[in-house]
């Protein structure tokens, strides 16, 4: 059940980000997961992580309002072929 809930939340965030970020930025997101009280968004490279971090900073208030219970947003690097 927990895996299903995590997959549903990841799907929600992928759609949310697709609706709020430029398409070229969304294409570089390699994963999204809720961990503890943070939304962790993974970018496929360090360069895209920096761009994503800047874009997310501008949307952080909206992200947290949509999150329900999360208190922070974190951007990390994870190449697409890296395991979860």
Tens digit of pLDDT for each residue in 74-84?
999 999 875 55
Single pTM value for the model = 0.89
Q: Are 79 and 56 in contact (CB under 8 A)?
A: no
Residue with tokens 């009280």: 37
Residue 68 banded pLDDT, cuts 50, 70, 90: confident
Q: What ranges do the domains of the chain cover?
A: 2-77
Flag whether pLDDT at 71 surpasses 60: yes
Q: Are 31 and 24 in contact (CB under 8 A)?
A: no
Tens digit of pLDDT for each residue in 23-61?
999 999 999 999 989 999 999 999 999 999 999 999 999
């Amino acid at each position: 059940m927990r895996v299903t809930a995590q997959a549903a939340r990841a799907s929600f965030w992928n759609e949310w980000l697709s609706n709020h970020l430029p398409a070229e930025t969304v294409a570089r997101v390699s994963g999204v997961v809720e961990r503890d009280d943070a939304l962790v968004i993974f970018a496929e490279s360090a360069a895209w992580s920096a761009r994503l971090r800047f874009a997310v900073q501008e949307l952080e208030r909206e992200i947290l309002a949509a999150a329900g219970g999360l208190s922070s947003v974190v951007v990390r690097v994870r190449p697409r072929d890296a395991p979860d």
